[in-house]
Amino acid sequence: MNEILTPTNMVVFGGFILAFIFGAIANKSNFCTMGAISDVVNMEHWGRMRMWLLTMAVAIAGANALYYFGVIDLSKTIYQRSTLPWLSLIVGGLTFGIGMTLAGGCANKNLVRVGGGNLRSLVVLVFVAISAYMTLRGLFGQWRTNFLDPVSFDFASFGLKDQGLSSVIGKILGLDAKTALALTSSVIVAALFIFIFKDKRFRANGSHIFAGILIGLLAVAAWYLTGYVGFGENPETLEVGYSGTGSRTLESFSFVGPIASTLEMLLLWTDKSLKVNFGIASAIGVALGSWAYAISTGKFRWKNEGFASFDDLRSQLLGAVLMGFGGVTAMGCTVGQGISGISTLAIGSFIAVAGIVVGAALTMKWQQR
C-alpha cells in the first residue's frame, strides 16, 4: 500500500481526477477563453468573460490564502522567478492569441472538443504538440532561447527574490511580505468581484457562476496537491523537493507543454526515463472528463468534420502551430497563464495574458474585415 500511495502517485492520480472534473465542467458550461473574447469583440456580451474572470478571482483568493498561511510556497513556481523574460511573454502571448483564434479555440477547448468526439480538434492538437515540442527542444526552441528569452528584466537587482506583484508593492510601500500579499490579493479579488457581479444578467446565470467558482477551486486544489502533498523527501534520491511534476516544482493546470510531453511519451514509449507526470495526467483528464459528460448526457457524437476548404485547413493548422510556439514561449496558455499564472500574482503572467487577449481581439477584427 505504501508503494502505491507515494507522493508522486498521489500527485499524478490526483491531477487526473481534478482535470477530469475540469473537463466535465468545461464541456457543460462551454468554458472557453477564445469564445469569451469573441463574445466581447463581436457581440459586446460579457457573460463568458465574467465567468473566466470569476475563475481568476477564486484562484487568486485560494492560492494566495494557501501561500499566506504557509501551506504552499508560490515563490517557487516557474511564474515567480526573479528574471522576467518580457519579450518572450509579449511575443508568446500575442502569438498564442492569434493562433487560438485561427484554430477556433485554445488547447483546453480542443481537449474538451476531442472528448466530445470532434476528430478535427484531434488534428489541431497533434500540430499544437509538434510545434510545442519544437519550441521546447527543437528548431523553434533555438530561436526562443537565442533571441527572445535573453531580453529580460531582473528583479533581483532591486533586492526582490521574485516577480510577484505583492513583492513589488511591498517594496514600494515598505510593507512586510505577508501584509503586502494580503493587501494586494484582497484588492485585486475585490475589484474583480465588483466588476463580475455588477451585471444583473450574470448574477442570474447560475451555470456560469457555478463553473467559474468550481474551476477556480480546482486550480487551487492543484496548487495544494503539487505544492503540499507532493512536497517532501524523494525516496529514490533522498532529496527534499516536489514530486510528480514535469517542472520539478509545484504546478497547477496548463496544457500546451503537457500536450507536447504526452506526444513525446507516445513516441518514445520504451524510454523508461519518461514517466506520466501531473501535466500529462491533467491533459488526459480534461479530455476524458469531457467525454464522460458527453456520454452521460447523450451528447457524444463522433464528428468526422472535414475542413471546410483548403483555406480553412491552412488557417487551423497555422493556428495550431502558432499556439504551440506561443504557449511555450509565453510559459502558458489561457489556462496556464490565464488562471494558474495569474493566481500567483506574477507580473509576467499579467503581461502574457494581456498579449493573448490583444492577439485574439486583433485577429478577430481582422477576420471581420
Tens digit of pLDDT for each residue in 2-11?
667 889 999 9
Categorize the per-residue pLDDT at 1 as very low, low, confident or very high, splitting at 50, 70 and 90.
low
Q: What is the pLDDT of residue 3?
A: 67
C-alpha to C-alpha distance for 175 and 17, rounded to whole angstroms: 39
Please state the rounded mean pLDDT for residues 296-308.
77
- The pTM of this model reads 0.96
* Grid cell listed for 108: 483546453
Q: What is the pLDDT of residue 237?
A: 66
Return mean pLDDT, the chain.
Answer: 94
Domain locations in the chain as residue ranges: 7-368
* Side chain identity, residue 280: I
Q: What is the pLDDT of residue 240?
A: 81
Summarised one tens digit per residue, pLDDT across range 200-251 is 999 999 999 999 999 999 999 999 999 999 998 766 666 789 999 999 999 9
Looking at the DSSP assignment, which residues form a beta bridge with residue 240? 233
Asked if the model's pLDDT at residue 260 lies above 80, the reply is yes
Asked if the model's pLDDT at residue 76 lies above 60, the reply is yes
Q: What is the pLDDT of residue 305?
A: 60
Looking at the DSSP assignment, which residues form a beta bridge with residue 154? 83
Q: What is the pLDDT of residue 369?
A: 81
Please state the rounded mean pLDDT for residues 10-30.
97
Q: What is the pLDDT of residue 232?
A: 87
Exposed / middle / buried, residue 354 (Cβ in 10 Å: 0-12, 13-18, 19+): middle
Q: What is the pLDDT of residue 229?
A: 96
Nearest to 18 by CA among 244, 209, 207, 216: 216
**Helix/strand number for the chain, H first, E second:** 16, 4
Question: How, if at all, do strands 83-84 and 240-242 pair?
Answer: unpaired
User: Cα dist. 16→13, 86, 205 in Å?
Assistant: 5, 32, 28
